[in-house]
């Protein structure tokens, strides 16, 4: 019996290389889509301002790993296709330029995605201070044991500490600080963080031990305007440390957006139709129902972006 032997032809190298290039392009597109989804999520925004889940940087680096691997695979496949057809060599300056450009882009993505925004000002109360010490009939402010201690001396008269950067105003500013009610003096105590477009006007996001939360537009020469408020917020209490964060985003022709967060969770937000569009200052705000209340602040930072 004659046996017919059928020869199996191998897949052409060019075809395999073309498939590799297509696969690389698909991986790049998939990593881009997933990265864009994570970057636009509320969890990512919380991470950028100092809160949010710890898995954010892990996911960011996985996405970047897939992206870099797909770029390398695509470049190798394309170089081999070029060589097979007698085109450009993988050692030509053109390919060197592609690789260098890719590394620059990836470095920028790492900085933007896997780490919080650039710091405008930072004070951990261990090295350098941008708050002032003072002692007047309303309040005493001083640095104590690695923190910024505020003693309320006059009930019902809130005070604040402010810092203005010498840099040009930025359209987006986030300010974060930790507040601890060391002593409530038997009454309600209030703490807030602020962002300022100028020394005369800004926004305040405040929480109280009574569960109230609010965002106000504040002025130097007139009473504040309440933009939004909410009751029943269970964050601040005696001996409890809470990370407060206010995010101010100038809207240009659109309303200015202001968001107050506690421990990375959004508490209230407000849109100001006739709002401020540039910010260069931040501040701590505090008050109490009874004299003798003590608030301690720590780890303050202001960031842009």
Q: What is the mean pLDDT of residues 220-235?
A: 90
pLDDT band at 57 (very low <50, low <70, confident <90, very high): low
Calculate the dihedral angle through the C-alpha atoms of 79, 85, 91, 94, rounding to the nearest 10 degrees: -80
How much is the pLDDT for 101?
52
pLDDT above 60: residue 146: yes
How much is the pLDDT for 91?
45
Q: What is the mean pLDDT of residues 124-137?
A: 72
Whether the model clears a pTM of 0.85, i.e. scores above it, the answer is: no
Look at residues 69, 71, 174, 57 and name the one whose alpha carbon lies nearest to residue 113: 57
How much is the pLDDT for 107?
54
How much is the pLDDT for 14?
55
How much is the pLDDT for 144?
86
How much is the pLDDT for 4?
55
- Alpha-carbon distance of 293 to 303, in angstroms, equals 30
pLDDT band at 89 (very low <50, low <70, confident <90, very high): very low
Q: How far is CA 98 from CA 93, 105, 152, 170, 235, in A?
A: 9, 11, 61, 34, 51
Q: What is the mean pLDDT of residues 280-296?
A: 94
Look at residues 207, 206, 211, 208 and name the one whose alpha carbon lies nearest to residue 195: 206
- Alpha-carbon distance of 191 to 180, in angstroms, equals 9
pLDDT band at 305 (very low <50, low <70, confident <90, very high): low
DSSP symbol at 154: S
pLDDT above 80: residue 118: no
Q: What is the mean pLDDT of residues 52-79?
A: 64
pLDDT band at 238 (very low <50, low <70, confident <90, very high): confident
pLDDT digits (tens, 9 = 90+) for 14-30: 556 556 555 655 666 66
Highest-confidence range of 49-63, 116-130, 250-264, by mean pLDDT?
250-264
Which has more pLDDT, 48 or 102?
102
Q: What is the mean pLDDT of residues 281-303?
A: 92
The percentage of the chain sitting over the pLDDT mark of 70, rounded to a whole number, equals 57
Which range is least confidently modeled, 43-52, 268-277, 287-296? Answer: 43-52
Q: What is the mean pLDDT of residues 110-120?
A: 49
pLDDT above 60: residue 113: no
Across all residues in the chain, what is the average pLDDT?
76
Pair of tokens at residue 276: 């401020």
pLDDT digits (tens, 9 = 90+) for 160-197: 999 888 888 889 999 999 999 999 999 999 999 999 99
If you search the block for the tokens 């190798």, which residue do you land on?
Answer: 76
Pair of tokens at residue 259: 């968001």
């Amino acid at each position: 019996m004659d046996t017919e032997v059928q020869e199996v032809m191998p897949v052409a190298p060019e075809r395999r290389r073309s498939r590799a290039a297509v696969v690389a392009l698909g991986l790049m597109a998939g990593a881009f889509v997933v990265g864009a989804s994570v970057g636009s999520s509320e969890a990512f925004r919380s991470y950028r301002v100092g809160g949010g889940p710890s898995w954010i940087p892990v996911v960011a680096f996985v996405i970047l790993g897939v992206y870099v691997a797909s770029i390398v695979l695509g470049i190798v496949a394309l170089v081999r296709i070029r060589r097979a057809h007698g085109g450009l060599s993988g050692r030509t300056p053109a390919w060197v330029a592609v690789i260098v450009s890719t590394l620059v882009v990836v470095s920028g993505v790492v900085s933007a995605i896997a780490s919080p925004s650039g710091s405008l000002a930072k004070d951990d109360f261990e090295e350098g201070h941008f708050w002032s010490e003072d002692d007047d009939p309303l309040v005493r402010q001083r640095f104590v044991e690695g923190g910024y201690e505020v003693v309320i001396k006059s009930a019902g008269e809130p005070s604040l500490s402010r810092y203005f950067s010498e840099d040009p105003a930025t359209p987006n500013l986030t300010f974060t600080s930790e507040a601890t009610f060391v002593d409530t003096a038997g009454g309600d105590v209030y703490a807030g963080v602020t962002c300022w477009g100028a020394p005369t006007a800004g926004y305040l996001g405040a929480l109280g031990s009574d569960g109230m939360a609010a965002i106000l537009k504040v002025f130097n020469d007139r009473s504040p305007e309440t933009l939004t408020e909410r009751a029943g917020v269970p964050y601040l209490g005696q001996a409890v440390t809470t990370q407060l964060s206010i995010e101010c985003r100038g809207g240009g022709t659109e309303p200015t957006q202001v968001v107050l967060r506690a421990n990375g969770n959004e508490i209230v937000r407000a849109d100001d139709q006739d709002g401020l569009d540039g910010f260069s200052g931040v501040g701590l705000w505090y008050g109490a129902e009874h004299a003798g209340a003590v608030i301690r602040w720590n780890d303050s930072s202001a960031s842009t972006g």
